[in-house]
Amino acid sequence: MTQPHRSSLPIPDVAIADEFWSPRRATVRAKTIPHQEDRLREGGQFAALRFEWRPDPDDDRERFPIFWESDVAKWIEAASYALASESDPKLDAAVDEAVALLAGAQQEDGYLNAYFTAIKPEGRFTDLRDAHELYCAGHLIEAGVAHFQATGKTSLLDVVRRYADLIDREFGPGGSCEGGYCGHQEIELALVKLFRATGERRYLDLSLRLIDNRGKAPFYFDEEARRRGTPGYFGGQGAVVRSDKRSREYNQSHAPVREQTEAVGHSVRAMYQYAAMADLALELGDAGLREACERLWRDLVDTKLYITGGIGADPSIEGFGPAFHLPDKDGYAETCAAIGLVFWAHRMMLLTGESTYVDVLERALYNGVLSGASADGTKYFYGNPLASDGSVERSDWFDCACCPPNLARLLTSLEEYVYVADEAGPTVNLYVAGWARFEYGGKRVLLNQESAYPWDGDVRITVEPEAALRVPLRLRLPEWTSAEPSVTVNGAAVPFAVDRGYAVVDRTWEPGDRVALSLPMHPVAVRADARVGAAHGKVALQKGPIVHCVEEVDNEAPVPHLVIGRGGEPVAEHRDGLDRITVAGLVDEPADGGLYRTGSTPVRPTEIRTVPYFAWANRGKGTMAVWVRETP
Amino acid sequence: MTQPHRSSLPIPDVAIADEFWSPRRATVRAKTIPHQEDRLREGGQFAALRFEWRPDPDDDRERFPIFWESDVAKWIEAASYALASESDPKLDAAVDEAVALLAGAQQEDGYLNAYFTAIKPEGRFTDLRDAHELYCAGHLIEAGVAHFQATGKTSLLDVVRRYADLIDREFGPGGSCEGGYCGHQEIELALVKLFRATGERRYLDLSLRLIDNRGKAPFYFDEEARRRGTPGYFGGQGAVVRSDKRSREYNQSHAPVREQTEAVGHSVRAMYQYAAMADLALELGDAGLREACERLWRDLVDTKLYITGGIGADPSIEGFGPAFHLPDKDGYAETCAAIGLVFWAHRMMLLTGESTYVDVLERALYNGVLSGASADGTKYFYGNPLASDGSVERSDWFDCACCPPNLARLLTSLEEYVYVADEAGPTVNLYVAGWARFEYGGKRVLLNQESAYPWDGDVRITVEPEAALRVPLRLRLPEWTSAEPSVTVNGAAVPFAVDRGYAVVDRTWEPGDRVALSLPMHPVAVRADARVGAAHGKVALQKGPIVHCVEEVDNEAPVPHLVIGRGGEPVAEHRDGLDRITVAGLVDEPADGGLYRTGSTPVRPTEIRTVPYFAWANRGKGTMAVWVRETP
């Protein structure tokens, strides 16, 4: 086993104090987490853990309880991250209550799933494909690790270890599920976290076993269906996926993972699987898993990635369509999938040390992830389409409530994505004001970041080692940079090497040294590969990491009638906390008079105005588009 | 009862001898009708009438036999029309054989449906919504009338009268289906034909009863389902339509027909219903039915009509989407629906005397109907999308084989649509070379038409009365005419009145008088109402009644990369039997290099070349579009 060379800093070693993320994270603490707690109490999730909940035969949402432990777990996980960066006795007590409920619901043998304990005990581990038990177990494990790391309490960690130990027995040699794996990947990456938190190697081995069982013939899901003699929990996935091939691709069990070459199927399942593969490749130095990850990454990034960092264009499977199938209005791009991409990209960066993965992480984070919540943090998008005919708005909640808590746990753990403790030197991946504490050569060194990112590319970093320290400081050079970046130290330009997308400033740092990184950031027009039909003859505007969109409310006509002129220079201004871009264009507005008519379409000049994509749909309904027509 | 003031000429009174339709009609005779006969023999339809066919439990096409009498009937109908205009002893014998099979399959009481006789006798008339018995009965009646009118034989007419008499009893007062009506309208218009052929008023009354029963509460389809106690033949229409409202709209039983205001649901069902309503309005002078027809027509023509005359944009219901929902690539536009529109439009013209209905008939006929078959008449489109990503091609046949025989029966009866015997004077609706025999004031008058229509708008008509005859000659002025039309008689310009879209030349005709109508016909650019999203920023090219499309095979780049320039004059030339339009434009072809990139899209000038839409997909697969991007 090789040791990892890179790791995230622990949350308590990072502070985020900026004007972009801090208010959003405060909203998650003040509104989202309490709101989600209310939902768990009202929705039956807590009652289910007391075995007080019974299905209502008239309610066709009867199937959702099979996700309920994951709802509770993601809430505990988000709350734990929040507690890691700021104490909150009331929240701490609420988490303790939920942990006690989980501990009370755990069976003698370690099993922990209310539905398959109270309602359908004969069904335990008989429908791995659809019943989501290991998916829930994975979220419980992630919550147990987060809760332990945030509070030092082992109350939930002990519970999830006992459950993981049961799973290890059942899925081990001679166990009732030998050769099995879950239909919704999640536990694989959770077990790596559990290994890291406990040092228990068998959790890592179990994760690898689940990963390597996947997709091998004879197919486990066929075998369990034969043994069970029923089509399964969801009636055999119903209309979602009809053919064996599509059905297997849906949960990425169509081939052994090491042989998989294309991102297919349900995109959240795919992201969690690929993230676990990257984790295992890093922990085990497993070249086969690393190569598979790199192949899958290229397929996704070259052919299936929205400009917003959204993924999974096909709503019918909540997953990937064919290459270059990236429809705007009718696309999907689930919030959870973009979050999953952040998870995977982060692990790929840890595995390879290459900043290109952070470029994609940043694209997803500032665009397709953030669009998932309203400005006030109380409404959510499940899908994040790149255009709207005016009918789209965020919802309060969902029966299948995966996205809101996923967003909460990402934002409360954002610390993990900003810096990397790399053997090669302290590394800044995201430009987020605040500080971070590293240790190199036995000496502590503090970095204090200031910037108005993502609105401005000037970043100032004060380096504060305990004592003079020679270590290369690694600063990510984002792909979007529109001209050559520059670095000064204490006001003087310094040369720097570029290594795998990072500016490397290698010198002996004295306390108080001031580094200034200047990333030229101007609005630019972006065009898509010719094979992306939805972007044909269209252009998107972007400034820095922020992808913009055009909303009807800011413009003189519904968005489909706007045409961006060629050669006009887009200009950005900052107003009410957001960048706006203005560019010269035309309005075409065919007069009415019958469905079809001859005669030309009148056009008149206009100014086309944008807002950041993540901020759309906060001012009522209206047409919207990221890809806007352009004068050929 | 008011007498109809207008009627089609009988097929034997019209001859079609032109370069456009004659070869296509010859193909139907020589290939399509024999091909269809083979299909009926091989497919089990004939065997079923001998009660020799049994369902194969492993074949999920087991449900198609419920349409089989309609397959046989449409073939007999087309063959009969063919026999009406040209004798063919072999075909006549084949038709006699089919008629004998039908007569042999008829039950003592007149019932005639092989499936519900041999396979499911307990099901007779218990699932009017889905089992298609009256739909098949309607087609049998249409076939019986056509066969009688073509051959003078009453062999099939007698059979269908006995069946109609049974239906009259069962659906009459005290009958087992009192208050009922069919889930797939068709018999209503067939019964009007049967009334006209036999003079039996009760067939007209039965048609009116079926029309007026429809959509009245309590809903018959709910009542029969309650009585039956099962979800019905197709399992309650399965996934097609889930809500009661959508389910009722699907077959236009959501409201009494006189109160219906919008074209909704399955579009073939809608067309057949509306056609019957127009027939009844004409026969009965029923103002309520006429007003309903006019309302529904406006809704369809103003909001739901493709430029090709196709209708029914939503493939999931083979029917209408919301107003202005006319997607190109993902649309539907079933061939049968466009044919149904021809039927309805023709009857609306007979009802009102207005040529606007023929404008729509002509649009459908030359575009969305004709595109349904390949140039060689052996392959068929079920749906007729207005754009293709290169994956679309015609098929040999369909399990649900409604479209090919529908096209055959329309083309073999095209005579009925060319002229109208109007009290106000002989009327030319379509410009098709050949002759027609009218009678006015006790004198016969022959019209002999010559033209190269639809490629040229110059039409020459020789008027041959038995003796000098004063009667107004009515010539349709198509809506597409791009400049003022002119009329000469014997070489001298004559003034003409315009009445409801017809040029009226009122004079005393001498034998051999030569009328020349000049309809200026140039290629024009057509744009759609601003609310048609698929046509946004796009333009279609049309010349005369022919809507053109751009196919990849004729152009320098895949169609989505072509942009028609503003101000360029489209120019037409005639080559290999088809018009082609050429217009100046641009190719934009973004270089590859990652999914997203900055930098402008290179464009270069090109000539964009079209073919008539009906002729597309005859030269292999490739991209195609009717709506082509236009320089703003």
pLDDT tens figures, A126-140 = 999 999 999 999 999
pLDDT score for B399: 55
The model's pLDDT over A293-344, given as tens digits with 9 standing for 90+, comes to: 999 999 999 999 999 999 999 998 999 999 999 999 989 999 999 999 999 9
Q: How far is it, in rounded angstroms, from Cα B318 to Cα B398?
A: 15
Q: Which of residues 569-598 of A touch B (CB under 8 A)?
A: 586, 588-590, 592, 594-598
Q: How far is it, in rounded angstroms, from Cα A482 to Cα A569?
A: 14
Percent of chain B with pLDDT over 70: 95
Residue of B566, B543, B577 whose CA lies nearest to B628: B566
Q: Kindly state whether B7 is in contact with chain A, defined as any CB-CB distance less than 8 angstroms.
A: no
Three-state SS string over A279-341 comes to HHHHHHCCHHHHHHHHHHHHHHHHHCECCCCCECCEHHHCECCCCCCCCCCCCCCEHHHHHHH
CB pairs under 8 A between A and B: 109
> Running DSSP on this structure, what letter comes out for residue B585?
E
- Could A592 and B529 be called an inter-chain contact, meaning their C-beta atoms sit closer than 8 Å? yes
Q: Kindly state whether B291 is in contact with chain A, defined as any CB-CB distance less than 8 angstroms.
A: no
Residue of A131, A129, A10, A11 whose CA lies nearest to A70: A131
- Could B594 and A529 be called an inter-chain contact, meaning their C-beta atoms sit closer than 8 Å? yes
- Could B588 and A629 be called an inter-chain contact, meaning their C-beta atoms sit closer than 8 Å? no
**Residues of B noted as catalytic:** 318, 402
**Complex-level ipTM:** 0.89
- Report the side by side order of strands in the sheet with A434-440: A14-16, A434-440, A443-451, A458-465, A513-518, A486-489, A492-493
- Could A598 and B302 be called an inter-chain contact, meaning their C-beta atoms sit closer than 8 Å? no
- Could B601 and A305 be called an inter-chain contact, meaning their C-beta atoms sit closer than 8 Å? no
Phi/psi of residue A427, nearest 5 degrees: -125, 130
Percent of chain A with pLDDT over 90: 80
> Looking at CA atoms only, how far is residue B302 from chain A in angstroms?
6
- Indicate if the pLDDT at residue B3 is higher than 50: no
Give the residue-averaged pLDDT of B258-264. Answer: 97
Give the residue-averaged pLDDT of A477-485. Answer: 90
Set of chain A residues whose Cβ sits within 8 Å of the Cβ of B532: 595
> From A329, which residue of chain B is nearest by alpha-carbon distance?
B533
Residue A387's SS3 state is strand
Helix (H) or strand (E) holding B157: helix B155-170
Set of chain B residues whose Cβ sits within 8 Å of the Cβ of A524: 598
Higher pLDDT, B401 or B619: B619
Encoded tokens for A540:
């998107």
Set of chain B residues whose Cβ sits within 8 Å of the Cβ of A604: none
Three-state SS string over B228-242 comes to HCCCCCCCCCCCCCC
Q: How far is it, in rounded angstroms, from Cα A130 to Cα A116?
A: 13
Set of chain B residues whose Cβ sits within 8 Å of the Cβ of A302: 594-595
pLDDT score for A240: 44
> From B567, which residue of chain A is nearest by alpha-carbon distance?
A600
Set of chain B residues whose Cβ sits within 8 Å of the Cβ of A629: 536-537, 632
- Could B632 and A533 be called an inter-chain contact, meaning their C-beta atoms sit closer than 8 Å? no
- A404 Cβ partners below 8 Å, 6+ apart? A32, A36, A372, A373, A380, A397, A398
Higher pLDDT, B533 or A79: A79
pLDDT score for A305: 98
B300, B388, B596, B626: best mutation site toward chain A, by most A Cβ within 10 Å? B596
Q: How far is it, in rounded angstroms, from Cα B206 to Cα B191?
A: 7
Give the residue-averaged pLDDT of B137-158. Answer: 97
Set of chain B residues whose Cβ sits within 8 Å of the Cβ of A595: 301-303, 305, 307, 528-529, 532
pLDDT score for A63: 55
Domains by residue range for chain A, with CATH: 16-51+64-233 (no CATH), 250-413 (1.50.10.20), 422-518 (2.60.40.1180), 523-630 (no CATH)
Q: Kindly state whether A532 is in contact with chain B, defined as any CB-CB distance less than 8 angstroms.
A: yes
Q: Kindly state whether A529 is in contact with chain B, defined as any CB-CB distance less than 8 angstroms.
A: yes
Q: How far is it, in rounded angstroms, from Cα A287 to Cα B399?
A: 51
Q: How far is it, in rounded angstroms, from Cα B276 to Cα B280?
A: 6
Q: Which of residues 473-502 of B touch A (CB under 8 A)?
A: 482
- Could B389 and A601 be called an inter-chain contact, meaning their C-beta atoms sit closer than 8 Å? no
Percent of chain A with pLDDT over 70: 95
> From A627, which residue of chain B is nearest by alpha-carbon distance?
B596
- Could B561 and A530 be called an inter-chain contact, meaning their C-beta atoms sit closer than 8 Å? yes
Phi/psi of residue B239, nearest 5 degrees: -85, -5
- Indicate if the pLDDT at residue A61 is higher than 90: no
What angle, rounded to 10 degrees, do the helices at A267-284 and A335-352 form?
20
pLDDT score for A1: 39
Helix intervals (H) in B267-386:
267-284, 287-303, 335-352, 356-363
The model's pLDDT over B488-517, given as tens digits with 9 standing for 90+, comes to: 999 999 999 999 999 999 999 999 999 999
Set of chain A residues whose Cβ sits within 8 Å of the Cβ of B590: 527-530
Set of chain B residues whose Cβ sits within 8 Å of the Cβ of A560: 533, 536-537
Q: How far is it, in rounded angstroms, from Cα B116 to Cα B49?
A: 11
> From A532, which residue of chain B is nearest by alpha-carbon distance?
B595
Quote the mean pLDDT of chain B: 92
- Could A526 and B589 be called an inter-chain contact, meaning their C-beta atoms sit closer than 8 Å? no
A207-221, A424-438, B595-609: which has the minimum mean pLDDT? B595-609
Q: How far is it, in rounded angstroms, from Cα A629 to Cα A387?
A: 12
Set of chain A residues whose Cβ sits within 8 Å of the Cβ of B527: 590, 596-601
User: Burial code of A490-514, b = ≥16 C-beta within 10 A, e = fewer?
Assistant: eeeeeebeebbbbbbbebebeeebe
- Could A598 and B629 be called an inter-chain contact, meaning their C-beta atoms sit closer than 8 Å? no
pLDDT score for B198: 97
The DSSP result for A85-137, as a single string, is HS--HHHHHHHHHHHHHHHHH--TTS---SIIIII-GGGTTS-TTTS-HHHHH
> From B600, which residue of chain A is nearest by alpha-carbon distance?
A527
> Running DSSP on this structure, what letter comes out for residue A611?
E
pLDDT score for A452: 96
- Indicate if the pLDDT at residue A194 is higher than 90: yes
> Looking at CA atoms only, how far is residue B90 from chain A in angstroms?
47
- Indicate if the pLDDT at residue B4 is higher than 60: no
> Looking at CA atoms only, how far is residue B610 from chain A in angstroms?
18
- A247 Cβ partners below 8 Å, 6+ apart? A237, A241
Quote the mean pLDDT of chain A: 92
* Among candidates A239, A301, A590 on the partner chain, residue whose Cβ is nearest the Cβ of B239: A239
- Helix, strand, coil in percent for chain B, rounding step 5: 40, 20, 40
The model's pLDDT over B214-250, given as tens digits with 9 standing for 90+, comes to: 999 999 999 998 898 877 765 554 434 446 788 899 9
> From A605, which residue of chain B is nearest by alpha-carbon distance?
B632
Higher pLDDT, A396 or A450: A450
Q: Kindly state whether B527 is in contact with chain A, defined as any CB-CB distance less than 8 angstroms.
A: yes
pLDDT score for B235: 54
Residue whose structure tokens are 């009688």: B148
pLDDT score for B537: 87
Q: How far is it, in rounded angstroms, from Cα A208 to Cα A189?
A: 10
For strand B425-428 and strand B469-476, is the pairing parallel, antiparallel, or unpaired?
Answer: parallel
Q: How far is it, in rounded angstroms, from Cα A587 to Cα B536?
A: 12
Set of chain B residues whose Cβ sits within 8 Å of the Cβ of A561: 530, 536
Higher pLDDT, B489 or A45: B489
- Could A598 and B524 be called an inter-chain contact, meaning their C-beta atoms sit closer than 8 Å? yes
**Residues of A noted as catalytic:** 318, 402
Q: Kindly state whether A240 is in contact with chain B, defined as any CB-CB distance less than 8 angstroms.
A: no
Q: Kindly state whether A599 is in contact with chain B, defined as any CB-CB distance less than 8 angstroms.
A: yes
The model's pLDDT over A591-622, given as tens digits with 9 standing for 90+, comes to: 667 889 887 778 899 999 999 999 999 999 99
> From A594, which residue of chain B is nearest by alpha-carbon distance?
B302
Q: Kindly state whether A313 is in contact with chain B, defined as any CB-CB distance less than 8 angstroms.
A: no
The model's pLDDT over A236-265, given as tens digits with 9 standing for 90+, comes to: 544 344 467 888 999 999 999 999 999 999
Residue of B157, B164, B148, B26 whose CA lies nearest to B80: B148
Give the residue-averaged pLDDT of B174-189. Answer: 96
Phi/psi of residue A518, nearest 5 degrees: -115, 115
> From B565, which residue of chain A is nearest by alpha-carbon distance?
A632
* Among candidates A239, A482, A537 on the partner chain, residue whose Cβ is nearest the Cβ of B563: A537
The model's pLDDT over A547-599, given as tens digits with 9 standing for 90+, comes to: 999 999 999 999 999 999 877 899 999 999 999 999 999 998 766 678 898 87
* Among candidates B307, B389, B595 on the partner chain, residue whose Cβ is nearest the Cβ of A305: B595
The model's pLDDT over A338-379, given as tens digits with 9 standing for 90+, comes to: 999 999 999 999 999 999 999 999 999 999 999 999 988 888
Residue whose structure tokens are 């989980």: A102
Encoded tokens for B471:
């009667």
